[in-house]
Amino acid sequence: MKESDIIFPSIVETFLKQGMNSIDEQEAADIHQFLEMVYAEQPCNEKAVYGLIKIYNAKKEFEQAKEIGQSFIMMDGYNKDILGELSITFLSLNQMDTYFSLVKQHLEKEAQLEDVPNDDFSEESNVIPFPKKIKPRRNIQNFLEWGTAEQLEFLQQARFHDIDSYLEAFQIFLKDAETSPYVKSMVFELLQEKNVDTVFRVKKLGLEGDFNPSKVSVLTDDPFTKELTGALTKRWEHDNPSFLEQLLVIVQLHLFIMYPFQMPSKDVALWSEAYSSWLSQLYGEEPSENVAINPDELIEARRFIEKMEKVQQNYLL
């Protein structure tokens, strides 16, 4: 059966475009079953691969997502949407170096394909035209206009260079409210790593502020981050270690996407309760209520978590 012969139901198409927030639990199960069936017949079907990775990421089953993504890539598959969804996978597994290597391979292959003249070759031709040249790196001053994958690959390489000549482009990028909040976090981390002592205006997620990378705590050293992860660990490490692992991944992703901004409040008990009850309800469980937590504040905290989860799904790449 050819890839074009498979008709994807409208609910699957909706999920592929809008993510898990557009479907309920039963629909998610049906979609998963359908995509597995397509994948079994056509392991290189881009829609099926993308959808399965998206589902496994949503379920925090990152190893399965990684296995499917790497299998697709090993079979010479290059797809921007799939690479984008895999960024969530590799970030969650703390394997971003591997991800950057995949992005680099994709960019190099894309550059080659774009330079192949195909006017003289018919669709049936078995002649393989070689690229005339590899595209040179684009001007850093146009960093704002690059695709996300190219930006991330550049930032990885920039760690080995002097970045003084990049600062103007980074300033423009950070204060543009429409650019990826995830890439902004990567840029800010690079500025921190290089001990850049300059104030940058940062706009993301409807927030705006001025930050000096040399004066802001590294995310892993931030006292609030340590207290929150410590509180969640104390609460769940013995009763439900797998639940705790998923909680910590979610918190890490949300804090990273916000960076250098922070949570609306520093109430560790509130956020521990909010994240625990929010994830419990996703599993269809009724969370135990902490009477010490203000119920109105808890509702607002959970709304904020839902907003961050939507941002993660839509804008991580």
| pLDDT in the model for residue 317 | 45
Higher per-residue confidence, 126 vs 248? 248
Q: What is the pLDDT of residues 43-98, one digit of tens each?
A: 888 999 999 999 998 888 999 999 898 888 777 566 778 887 887 888 778 777 67
Q: Is the pLDDT of residue 8 over 60?
A: yes
Q: What is the pLDDT of residues 224-264, one digit of tens each?
A: 989 999 999 998 988 888 788 878 888 888 888 899 999 99
pTM: 0.61
Burial class (CB in 10 A: 0-12, 13-18, 19+), 127: exposed
Radius of gyration (C-alpha) of the chain in whole angstroms: 22
| pLDDT in the model for residue 53 | 93
* Averaged confidence pLDDT in the chain: 81
Q: Is the pLDDT of residue 1 over 80?
A: no
| pLDDT in the model for residue 199 | 97
| pLDDT in the model for residue 33 | 92
Range among 14-23, 51-60, 198-207 rated most confident: 198-207
Pick the range with the lowest mean pLDDT from 110-119, 225-234, 280-289.
Answer: 110-119
Cβ neighbours for 149, distance < 8 A, ≥ 6 positions apart: 80, 83, 84, 103, 106, 107, 317
What's the average model confidence in pLDDT over 33-50?
90
The answer to whether 142 and 170 are in contact (CB under 8 A) is no
What's the average model confidence in pLDDT over 37-44?
87
**Token couple for 242:** 């797998």
Cβ neighbours for 191, distance < 8 A, ≥ 6 positions apart: 163, 170, 200, 213
- C-alpha dist (Å) from residue 70 to 74, 85, 92, 97: 6, 12, 15, 14
| pLDDT in the model for residue 24 | 84
Q: Is the pLDDT of residue 21 over 80?
A: no
- Rounded distance, CA 145 to CA 238, Å? 48
What's the average model confidence in pLDDT over 171-196?
91
What's the average model confidence in pLDDT over 169-196?
92
| pLDDT in the model for residue 119 | 46
Pick the range with the lowest mean pLDDT from 10-19, 106-115, 225-234, 293-302.
Answer: 106-115
3-state secondary structure the chain: CCHHHCCCCHHHHHHHHHCHHHCCHHHHHHHHHHHHHHHHHCCCCHHHHHHHHHHHHHCCCHHHHHHHHHHHHHCCCCCHHHHHHHHHHHHHCCCHHHHHHHHHHHHHHHHHHHCCCCCCCCCCCCCCCCCCCCCCCCCHHHHHHCCHHHHHHHHHHHCCCCCHHHHHHHHHHHCCCCCCHHHHHHHHHHHHHCCCCCCEEEEECCEEEEECHHHCCCHHHCHHHHHHHHHHHHHHCCCCHHHHHHHHHHHHHHHHHHCCCCCCCCCHHHHHHHHHHHHHHHCCCCCCCCCCCCHHHHHHHHHHHHHHHHHHHHHCC
Q: What percentage of the chain has pLDDT greater than the value 70? A: 80
Banded pLDDT at 105 (limits 50, 70, 90): low
| pLDDT in the model for residue 49 | 93
The answer to whether 152 and 183 are in contact (CB under 8 A) is yes
Banded pLDDT at 111 (limits 50, 70, 90): low
| pLDDT in the model for residue 44 | 85
Q: What percentage of the chain has pLDDT greater than the value 90? A: 32
Residues 1-15, buried b or exposed e (16+ Cβ, 10 A)? eeeeeeebeeebeeb
- C-alpha dist (Å) from residue 186 to 181, 183, 189, 192, 216: 9, 5, 5, 10, 14
